[in-house]
Chain A
Amino acid sequence: MACSLTDNGMQFSAAIGAKVTVKVIADNTKLVEAEYNDQSIPVVNNSATFTVVGGSNLLWLNLAGPQEDVEIVEDCGGGKTQHMFGYTDDAHPALGFTIIGA
């Protein structure tokens, strides 16, 4: 399956109306809360799915857990993922991504 987000090296863009599922991959770190365009989006199994709207909007992911390696990916379906961001041996309460809907 094709991924919805296009990584331009700094920001991500997607077609308006595209469904995007982001996932937190870590030994322990949990996705506590996710917000896109000021709206809370449901969190299920460390993943959150939202529909892209027009313009530059913020996606916030709130994480809880110990210092460890964490990777944020787009879950493109069919076992395919796209790396969005990651860090090693660290802990961050919030990560933000600017998603450009066009």
Chain B
Amino acid sequence: MRSLSALSVLTIVILASAALAPAQLAVENCQDSRGVCAYQKPLGDLLQAAKDNNEQLRGDAIRALLEPEVVPDYFVLALSEESVFDNVVNAWERARVDKQVGTSANGTGTTDLVSRPSTPELLGVAVQLGALTQTVSGSTSTFNANAYGAYHAIVGHPAICLVCGDSAWKNLNFSASFDLSRQATKQVATSGVANATTPPLGMVQLPQSSRQLSSVTARYDIYNPLDPRSKEFKKAWSTAFQSHQKDLVNAAKDLDKALSDIFKPLIADKALGLLRDQYKSAIMKDAIANDVAQLKKDFENYFKDLSNLAYKDIPDLDQKLAAAAAAYARYSQMNYDAVQEARGKPQFTAEYTYNHPVSQPDTHDFKLIYGYTPKSTTGVLFTLNLTGSVYGGSIPTGAKYGRMRDFQFASQLDLPLGDVITHRTTFTVAGYVQYQFDPSVLNIGSGNLVPGTSITLPKDAQVLLGTKGTLGIMQAKVTVNTKAGVSIPVAVSWANKTDLLNATDVRGHIGITYDFNSIGQLFGH
């Protein structure tokens, strides 16, 4: 019941986040209104220009709407199959080593000693076996969602857009982990024995719906604020541009070739001019009258005629659109990387986790995550975590432990083996140090025996187990990345002790994670 309610809360939070996302020009259905969907921005600009009586803005908007070569990304993306763009972007997304899909080090059923700075753009799912700081290994299933990606998936927009600008909602993520191996029983009083041969039996243990929720996490990526007008950004952008210029020029040449293959035959057809003339006055009239519905209708009709003309004039248009979409994705990725570089690194992530461990008090973890990619390397990621953990709920009177549970420091190096984009395997080494202020607290529920005796506890009790002090863990991990977004981490770790036992511990860990980057990928097409 508790896990169900937690999942409901998580869903409500994600949907509420989505509802609060910035308002956009409403688009009903991108499958039926591909033109209006792709050309939302200039349609909005035209309405605004008509309202403000701004002649220059109106001229720019009309150019962007009726001359397809002026802003060709609108045209290409309107006619391209979504999967074409997705496939290229997904190759880049899969290559990233900075995503945290599973649960963090403190739970059971984890393969990750250190939390990475990023998360999936839409949804992530992980099933992991093992434990790092915990004495008892477990298996955990983690569901991860990005507020912006989830909202876009719900309304049918692409979850990943490299040129769509910045939304604060892109940086907000939620996850919930469920312990698959957790079992619970409930002690119930009997009504007496059913026959004379049965010895007296006052209480029985009944299996009950287990409290499977093991943790809930909210995280926010903190970037330096992007103010393109600031002196600092201008200076950083100049440096970043120079370091990426050569690659951008090469990608630009490929893009221009792909666009010329599409637009040269189209602009040579006089029918294009006639089509423009046919619709221009109607579209202008709709905008001046602020008749949004009619404007959408007229523009969609124009775009249908334009796409019919394009399919007539341009041989193998679908192949050429696919080539152009791929060239756009490559170029946009480079531009995105350069802009991110100019925004400044390091990238910080603030994370809050509510942990609900088995037979231990709940904890609240506050973590700061820092990710750094050295400039001299390609794809290598260095990550640092700093965490403080406090016990939740009320501390019993006379407790021999305080509110503060521990401090944690962890670092990790991820090294892609092979090409930065196409690598199949990532090698990871990580170290973790935790200082615990008191021995671990173990909850013993009523009805259980006092350890070492035959005395049944009349009410809930707590004991201290293990030792306070420093817990150190080293881990080596190999993650195999498949083309479909599935990753399989296999790891081995050594610890000087665990949370409950004061003895060295060597353990193996395995998991499987899935990073859904598009709603199409989610539904398998």
Contact = CB atoms under 8 A, between A and B. Distances in A.
Interface of A: 9-11, 27-28, 30, 32-33, 35, 38, 40, 56, 58, 60, 62, 64-68, 83, 85-98
A89 B255 CA distance: 22
Contacts of A88: 45, 57
Interface of B: 41, 45, 56-57, 59-60, 62-64, 66-67, 69-73, 163, 165-166, 226, 228-229, 233-234, 237, 241, 244-245, 248-249, 252-253, 255-256, 259-260, 263-264, 267-268, 273, 276, 280, 328, 331-332, 334-335, 338-339, 342
Contacts of B63: 10, 85
A65 B59 contact: no
Nearest to B264: A58
Given A60-B256, A86-B60, A97 B245 contact: no
A10 B67 contact: yes
B78 to A, nearest CB: 14
A11 B67 contact: yes
Nearest to B76: A94
A40 B252 CA distance: 11
B154 to A, nearest CB: 24
B69 A64 contact: no
Contacts of A10: 62-63, 66-67, 273, 276, 280
A85 B60 contact: yes
A93 B241 contact: no
Nearest to B71: A92
A56 B268 contact: yes
B73 A93 contact: yes
Contacts of A35: 253, 256, 260
A91 B163 contact: yes
Interface of A is mostly: strand
A38 B252 CA distance: 13
Contacts of B166: 67
Contacts of A67: 165-166, 228
A44 B63 CA distance: 26
A58 to B, nearest CB: 6
A14 to B, nearest CB: 16
B256 A66 contact: no
A27 B56 contact: no
A40 B253 contact: yes
A35 B249 CA distance: 11
A66 B339 contact: yes
B255 A94 contact: yes
Contacts of A33: 248-249, 252-253, 256
Contact of B256 (A83, A87, A94): A94
A58 B233 CA distance: 33
Contacts of A27: 228-229, 234
Contacts of B276: 10
B241 A64 contact: yes
21 contacts: A32-B249, A33-B248, A40-B253, A56-B268, A60-B259, A62-B255, A62-B331, A64-B244, A64-B334, A64-B338, A66-B228, A87-B71, A92-B71, A93-B332, A94-B73, A94-B255, A94-B331, A96-B70, A96-B263, A97-B69, A97-B70
B69 A98 contact: yes
Contacts of B280: 10
A28 B332 contact: no
A55 B263 CA distance: 15
Given A32-B249, A86-B60, A68 B228 contact: yes
Given A28-B234, A60-B260, A67-B228, 4 more contacts: A64-B334, A85-B63, A87-B60, A94-B256
